Amino acid sequence: MNITINGELLTIKGASLVKVLQSFGAKPPFAVAINGEFIPQSLHDSTNINDGDSIELLSPIQGG
Amino acid sequence: MQSNDYLTIYGEQLSSRLLIGSALYPSPAVMEESISASGAQIVTVSLRRQQSAAAGDDFWQLIKNTGLKILPNTAGCHSVKEAVTLAKMCREVFATDWIKLELIGDDYNLQPDPFALLKATEILINDGFKVLPYCTDDLVLCQRLNELGCEVLMPWGAPIGTGKGLLNSYNLKTIRERLPNTTLIVDAGLGLPSHACQALELGYDAVLLNSAIAGAGCPITMSRAFKAAVEAGRFAYNAKAMPEKDLAAPSTPTMGMPFWHQQ
């Protein structure tokens, strides 16, 4: 199935959120949203990815 | 500063009345030294897509090393949904329920959207956030935000990054007078230490700035200048300024004036 993570198109086999994050090389600290909805860390293990999902993986950056 | 003269943010007492941003510095070392020179106890940060994990981690490590309180923002958000989602992500990453709520309504001057701001504020407060809304200097908007439960309001001095100072000191003064028990922070638009001093003289509790320091020729020196200006402004506010008059009044005694003669 096809998903996007941080705007990049990826083709993956059916997978959990945790596996997708691992294969993307996500490095803590980060927070995740799928299709604009925040997914708390406590739900990462039980969250599955569906075809067409858009994942946002965000980390700290400078801000004003 | 008097030892018992604190800035209060959601029950937290702070001795510094300058909140500082972490963006736009010419280097991480200058950022670190500028933040330190400012005496600030709160630093603003944000979240963006993870690109180079190593680079982001370096920045976050530097900020953590400062030991300052973190105030994450929702900069760049244009809708209630975006802002609420980003606020929740910030709460998890930065382990704080403080959020500087930014919701842009117009890209030309980065003016906050007052209607969306109210909606997002209500959702976030109901979800346990302590919201510090970046807003315009509109009295009624500030009153509504206050009624929703905001203990801190952050009206702009001028559009973000313009350095124009307090464009409407009448509006800011009115907000101060009408909301005497709310912590008020001028956020954005300051360029000079005198602008910060003026905000404190008006009775504002603090200023939040970034570009004015980071964009200066020497950010570290400018940081010291803002620290001094904020302290001066607060001293002046506590001292209560003399009443302004239209007519001149001599300060040197006229009694005993030499060469005086009756016409």
Which of A22, A35, A59 has the highest number of chain B CBs within 10 A, making it the mutation to test binding with B?
Answer: A59
pLDDT for A14: 75
B68 neighbors B42 (Cβ within 8 angstroms): yes
| pLDDT of B1 higher than 70 | no
Over chain B, what is the mean pLDDT? 96
Q: Does B160 touch chain A (CB under 8 A)?
A: yes
pLDDT for B47: 97
pLDDT for B4: 86
pLDDT for B55: 57
Q: Does A60 touch chain B (CB under 8 A)?
A: yes
CA separation for the pair B38, B40 (Å, rounded): 5
CA-CA distances (angstroms) from residue B118 to A1, B103, B141, B149? 39, 10, 8, 11
Which pLDDT tens digit goes with each residue over B157-203?
A: 999 999 999 999 999 999 999 999 999 999 999 999 999 999 999 99
pLDDT for B263: 67
Which pLDDT tens digit goes with each residue over A6-54?
A: 999 999 987 899 999 998 999 999 999 999 999 999 999 999 999 999 9
Binned at pLDDT 50, 70 and 90, residue B261 comes out as confident
pLDDT for B191: 98
**Is B100 a known active-site residue?**
yes
A38 contacts on B by Cβ (under 8 Å): 85, 88-89, 92
Nearest chain A alpha carbon to B88:
A38
B214 neighbors B31 (Cβ within 8 angstroms): yes
- Nearest by Cα to B21 from B202, B194, B223: B223
Interface contact flag, A31 B73, Cβ < 8 Å: no
B152 neighbors B132 (Cβ within 8 angstroms): yes
Binned at pLDDT 50, 70 and 90, residue B253 comes out as very high
Which pLDDT tens digit goes with each residue over B44-95?
A: 999 999 985 555 679 999 999 999 999 999 999 999 999 999 999 999 999 9
| pLDDT of B38 higher than 80 | yes
Which of B24, B43, B45, B50 has the highest number of chain A CBs within 10 A, making it the mutation to test binding with A?
Answer: B50
Our CA dihedral for B14, B19, B21, B26, rounded to 10 degrees, sits at -100
pLDDT for B127: 98
Percentage with pLDDT > 90 across chain B: 94
Which pLDDT tens digit goes with each residue over B85-110?
A: 999 999 999 999 999 999 999 999 99
Binned at pLDDT 50, 70 and 90, residue A60 comes out as very high
pLDDT for B51: 83
pTM: 0.94
Three-state DSSP state, B177? helix
